Structure 1
Amino acid sequence: MRLPCLPLASLLVGAASLLTAPAPALAHFQEILPSADVLPEGGAVTLDLVFTHPMERGPTMEMARPRSVGALIDGKTVDLTSGLAEKKVEGKTAWTLSTRLDKPGAAVFFVEPQPYWEPAEKTWISHFAKVVVDGYASGEGWDRLAGLPVEIEPLTRPTGLWTGSLFRGLVRHDGKPASSAEIEVEWANDGSVRPPNDAFVTQKIKADPNGVFAFALPRAGWWGFAALIDGPPAKAPDGSPAKTELGGLFWVKATDMTSAPASAAK
């Protein structure tokens, strides 16, 4: 049986469509990952700030020096910007800082980055990211707000979470609940998981009319929640019209339950 011969023009059109078909958009996540989510005895903590695609382990984007990095500790805001140190991740600029928690209570760390220009989407991206580190496993102070333009307020204590725990949050935009906000969720892949296809890379949630969402943490490790809000129109570097994306990010860590030695059982 002979297959029909397609006209050359049809073949050329088909090939062109394959070449111009848009690639799936990669979710950008501003990481602010500490060396631990709980410091049972207080002490030092190191935070790494990387702008990347966590589930796919890259590519990493160039990150300009943040406008500010700080922490809410004992009801006061501590400016940590001067402690930033530059480092390289995949040849791109990232940042790190170290500090100490010497009193009981949670520290709510946050970063305000410089806007990032994404030419593929003609969009300026500003992701305001937070993470909580609990000093002396106090279990207190974890729900304080930093007053960021877009911010996730945790409704579940974000420290000491077991794998499988349900994390709940409330998306706020300019301090008010963001009705039906879209939240993207990714796991900071350590190389042990290969997604079956692109649908598994970024999980997506829609908040309810009160801005509340929930997600069960299926695997141990760091999970990032990115609440995305359309910002005002802007100008691209070449002066053409552009969009802005404002993101409120929150990071939580899930930990596997393990069997305790018999001597430790109570």
Structure 2
Amino acid sequence: MSLQRHGLLAAALMGTILLPGAAAAHFQSIYAETPVLTAPGDVPLRLIFWHPFENGHVMDMGVPTTFYMVHRGEKTDLSDRLSQISFQGAENSAVAYAASVPVKKAGDYVLVLDPAPYYEQTEDIYIEQITKAYLNRAEMPTDWSDAQGLPTEIVPLNKPYAVVTGSTFSGQVLSAGQPVAGAEIEVEYIAALPDMATNTVEAPRAHPLPGGTLTAITDANGTFTFGIPKAGWWGFAALGVGPEKSFEGKELSQDAVIWVYAQDME
């Protein structure tokens, strides 16, 4: 098992430091072409478990345990909108899911995905990445700053669909509703955008830096801050912070994932 998932760096308790990771990051994504919407309609999504910064290996997803949205505090199940697809990454193809979100009224739409635990054979562990992403219609904030009562989650401290490139994003890691000090946060970027029409990836717009996975550590209040250097989708995963530690007799890394969207100022 990697040093990252053991969380051996947790004792550092530093909220803004960047550290090199030990291996390429597994990341569950909820991808939309843009989270900022002006008109009502169904918004297409792709749910992909892959290595987006490296434009690398794609992993097979099982049927998600739960998939829903929260709008103005009201929860709507979206599981009947899931359809299995084959997603072709740069290296391989794997099972992913297409979905759509019915966006009608103004406000925030918090998307919550709890995927089936994934067995990582090389580490002999299961990985469950409870993932949140956000859409907004008509620039009316409603739900973005609310905790969703998940087993583990990252609560955004900046509006997650309106981050300015060159500024920072901050979040607070919760497990069973309590802040997690010393949590290891892996940072990811969708360098090669999914093509919705073909379920393939476009050419990458960026490449990982030397030094390995970008990593931060939460402070005593469970918060972290990361400077956003480039427009697009940025993901943050708090590793192994969930209350569940085993699945089917093996170790479980129950991770909290959040996706935020950065834009350039013109």
Aligning the two structures, in what range does the TM-score lie when normalised by the shorter sequence? Answer: 0.7 to 0.9
- Please, what TM-score do these two structures have when normalized by structure 1? 0.81
Q: Is the 8 A contact 2:130 2:256 kept in 1?
A: yes
Which residue of 1 is the match for residue 259 of structure 2? Answer: 251
- Tell me which amino acid in the other structure corresponds to 2:214: Q
Which residue of 1 is the match for residue 29 of structure 2? Answer: 31
Q: Is the 8 A contact 2:216 2:224 kept in 1?
A: yes
- Please, what TM-score do these two structures have when normalized by structure 2? 0.81
- Tell me which amino acid in the other structure corresponds to 2:205: S
| Pair member with larger Rg | 1
- Tell me which amino acid in the other structure corresponds to 1:136: A
- Decide which moves more: 38-47 or 162-171: 38-47
How is 1:73-152 mapped onto 2 (pairs within 5 angstroms)?
Answer: 73-90=71-88, 91-152=93-154
Gaps of 5+ in 2: 1-21, 193-203
SS in 1 for 2:80: helix
Which residue of 1 is the match for residue 205 of structure 2? Answer: 192
Which deviations, in whole Å up to 9, do the C-alpha atoms of 1:50-72 show, x marking residues without a partner?
A: 00011111200000110111001
Q: Is the 8 A contact 1:180 1:210 kept in 2?
A: no
Matched residues in 2 for 1:168 and 1:58: separation?
27
Matched residues in 2 for 1:104 and 1:50: separation?
27
SS in 2 for 1:114: coil
- Displaced runs of 4+ in structure 1, greater than 6 A? none
Equivalent position to 1:208, from 200, 205, 219: 219
SS in 1 for 2:150: coil
Gaps of 5+ in 1: 1-23, 237-241, 259-266
- Tell me which amino acid in the other structure corresponds to 1:59: H
Which residue of 2 is the match for residue 229 of structure 1? Answer: 240
1:47 deviates by 1.5
Matched residues in 1 for 2:73 and 2:136: separation?
14
1:181 deviates by 0.9
1:25 deviates by 2.8
- Tell me which amino acid in the other structure corresponds to 2:170: R
- Tell me which amino acid in the other structure corresponds to 1:26: A
1:205 deviates by 0.4
Identity %: 36
1:41 deviates by 2.9
Matched residues in 2 for 1:233 and 1:81: separation?
25
Q: Is the 8 A contact 2:109 2:135 kept in 1?
A: yes
Matched residues in 2 for 1:79 and 1:100: separation?
11
Identify which of structures 1 and 2 has the higher relative contact order when contacts are C-alpha pairs closer than 8 Å and 6+ apart. 2
For these two proteins, the number of residue pairs brought into alignment is 228
- Tell me which amino acid in the other structure corresponds to 1:251: W
1:26 deviates by 2.3
Which residue of 1 is the match for residue 13 of structure 2? Answer: none
1:235 deviates by 4.9
Q: Is the 8 A contact 2:49 2:60 kept in 1?
A: yes
1:234 deviates by 4.7
Matched residues in 2 for 1:43 and 1:58: separation?
32
Q: Is the 8 A contact 2:245 2:254 kept in 1?
A: no
SS in 2 for 1:82: helix
1:233 deviates by 4.1
Alpha-carbon RMSD: 1.5
Matched residues in 1 for 2:45 and 2:103: separation?
13
- Tell me which amino acid in the other structure corresponds to 1:94: A
The structure with the greater share of residues assigned to helix is 1
Matched residues in 2 for 1:88 and 1:149: separation?
29
